[in-house]
Amino acid sequence: MAGAPVSFGSLVYFVKTVAEAGGRTPHDTNNDGRDCFGFVLGATGAFTTSTKNLNKTAAFTSYVWVAGDLIYINAGTGVTVGLYEIASKTDSDNIVLATDIGGTDPTDVDSSTGPYLTITKANSVLAANNIVFICDDGAHVSETAAVSVSTRVRFWGASARGVRYKNVGEQAEVDFSGSTADDGFRLDTGSTEVVFGHLDVHSAPLMGINCEVTGQPLSPFMFVYCTVRDNTGGGIDGEGHKLLIACQTYGNGGSGVGCNDQSSRARTTAIYCSSHDNGLHGFQSASGSVYVHCISYDNADDGFHFFSSAYSQTMVNCVSNGNADDGVYNGANTNSHVTLLQCAISNNGGWGFDSAGAASALMQEFHYNLFYNNTGGDATNPLPDDDTSITGSDPLFVSVTDGSEDFTPKSNSPLVDAGVFGPRTS
């Protein structure tokens, strides 16, 4: 079921440090403070040292003070340039600072102009170990071109006051529908150690996030609490090694999570993720991939698709249901080894487990799985010698109806109290 996106943020807040202070994020000197609100004093602010009052007519009309807010003073006669804590707001013309800003009664005081308006702008000045915070102002970020990402940077959703999101459902929306014939984010050769957190990336003309890093090391790109949806091509795709935690992909024209290469770099590690209603596979990967507590359903091809070069794949507590072709497809490689532990593979249009007619059952390790109502049958080769799996029994999920899927087992489901621990339920 396509979840409703949470719409946040059209201001990009760029900072140059990864450290946090008091649970809130420090600031780059190009920005005014933690509230993502730009004070444009225009070198006409006046500061009274005795009262620590900063005055500029109507400069603070829209500002709502919160303890710990900062302002960056970047110019003025007699000022010491730097960040200063705002102690309080008096009215639309005046704020009180916690400390002096320099000499006696500085004049011509100016401050920064606030956050960048697009990710493209922030990305243009990024250096290693920088973070782009995408902040809420009640709308969303609209980008008109691909954002080509460099090395060791982070893109993270944040609230209007610079407090980075940490909870499920908190996401900053990044809309690439205004872009022409391009990816959303592009991680080119040379990109390593890039992190995306709490973002809803959608509507790119090609891939939502393209991890195309031919020849790069196996250092993974990390995705945390992200949604990647409704992109014309794949959702999160490309050759790079991907680590996904609590992410969802849906409505993409290609695979929800895919790869366009069969090398060892094209591996995926996914934990508590879902991929559904995509135009190709739910999850697609090559050697060494691991899926734990993942759900793939209602995709136009396979639920989980492993390339023929994939020598080792592991699935634990996963569900593959209602996909148009195979629940799990393992490429034609006689050396391929797949481990399935406590997975439910049901109602798929092809085989439950398709080893492409080549992989020996001796190379598969299955324990405590359930196979049900797969059109082709449980497996193309006989299932491995396994007396722990269940075949022919409906998993009795709460709902497999299109648009209202709920993979929680009913109380009388054969999955309940079966195996060492039950499969993922939600």
- Following DSSP, what letter does each residue of 321-352 receive, concatenated? ES-SS-SEEE-S-TT-EEEEES-EEES-SSEE
- pLDDT value at position 26? 35
The radius of gyration of the chain's CA atoms, rounded to the nearest angstrom, is 26
Position 72 scores a pLDDT of 73
Task: Report which DSSP code applies to 363.
Answer: G
pLDDT of 5 strictly over 60: no
Q: For strands 227-229 and 199-202, give the pairing.
A: parallel
Q: Looking at residues 217-234, what average pLDDT do you find?
A: 87
Angle ∠(345,348,352) on CA atoms, nearest 5: 50
What is the four-CA torsion angle of 120, 123, 124, 125, rounded to 10 degrees? 140
pLDDT at 7 over 60: no
- Name the band, by pLDDT with cuts 50, 70 and 90, for residue 108: very high
3-state secondary structure of 362: helix
In whole angstroms, give the CA distance from residue 17 to residue 423.
40
What is the pLDDT, as a whole number, of residue 4? 31
Q: How confident is the model at residue 255 (pLDDT cuts 50, 70, 90)?
A: very high
Q: How far apart are CA 201 and CA 235, in angstroms?
A: 9
Edge-to-edge strand ranges of the sheet holding 236-237: 147-149, 185-187, 209-210, 236-237
* pLDDT at 123 > cutoff 80: no
The answer on pLDDT for 149 being more than 90 is no
Domain ranges of the chain: 1-20+115-280, 32-111, 302-426
What percentage of the chain exceeds 90 in pLDDT?
36
pLDDT over 60 (residue 99): yes
Eight-class DSSP state of 164: B
| Predicted pLDDT at 84 | 79
Q: Per-residue pLDDT tens for 264-289? A: 567 899 999 999 999 999 999 877 88
Residue 40 has pLDDT above 90, yes or no: no
- Partners of residue 304 on adjacent β-strands: 283, 328
Three-state SS for 96-148 is EECCCCEEEEEEEEEECCCCECCHHHHHHCCCCCCEEEEECCCCCEECCCCEE
